[in-house]
């Protein structure tokens, strides 16, 4: 009788630890912020889970070399269909996008750990 109780307690602790680990790896928001740049593309793709994936081209100056321009690419996933469609019809324009960064990606959320959740501005 006592061994069954101990087994259930140990099993409960293991389930809690695995649940916490899963939450941290896939649902914990590690960081969030805003990126600005020219929208290169947004596409809907995937084998089993169709997700929206995009790329934003950021321009900036390379440190240490005055006047040298470098291009930074920000690859992201979009969780909301309405946001993705708005981005598709405005491809090539300058966007300011709010995103959340997760530790790992999930197949139904997209390929990237960076998930855009809102558009701040379109120019």
What are 43-72's pLDDT values in tens digits?
A: 999 889 999 999 999 876 555 566 555 668
- pLDDT attached to residue 17: 95
Residues paired with residue 71 on neighbouring β-strands, in sequence order: 59
What are 21-34's pLDDT values in tens digits?
A: 999 998 899 999 99
pLDDT at residue 79 greater than cutoff 70: yes
Residue 91: pLDDT band (50, 70, 90) is confident
Q: Are 9 and 2 in contact (CB under 8 A)?
A: no
Distance CA 28, CA 21 (A): 10
Distance CA 123, CA 67 (A): 25
Top-tier CATH class for 29-122: mainly beta
3-state secondary structure of 7: helix
Q: Which residue has the tokens 């087994």?
A: 7
- pLDDT attached to residue 69: 57
Where do the structural domains in the chain lie, given as residue ranges?
29-122
Distance CA 33, CA 62 (A): 21
């Amino acid at each position: 009788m006592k061994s069954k109780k101990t087994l259930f307690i140990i099993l409960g602790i293991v389930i809690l630890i695995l649940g916490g680990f899963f939450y941290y790896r896939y649902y914990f928001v590690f960081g969030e912020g805003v990126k600005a740049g020219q929208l290169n593309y947004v596409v809907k793709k995937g084998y089993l889970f169709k997700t929206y994936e995009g790329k934003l081209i950021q321009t900036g100056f390379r440190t240490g070399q005055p006047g040298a321009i470098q291009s930074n690419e920000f690859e992201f996933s979009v969780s909301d269909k309405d946001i993705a469609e708005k981005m598709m019809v405005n491809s090539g324009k300058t966007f300011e996008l709010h995103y959340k960064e997760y530790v790992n990606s999930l197949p139904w959320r997209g390929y990237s750990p960076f998930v855009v959740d809102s558009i701040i501005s379109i120019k």
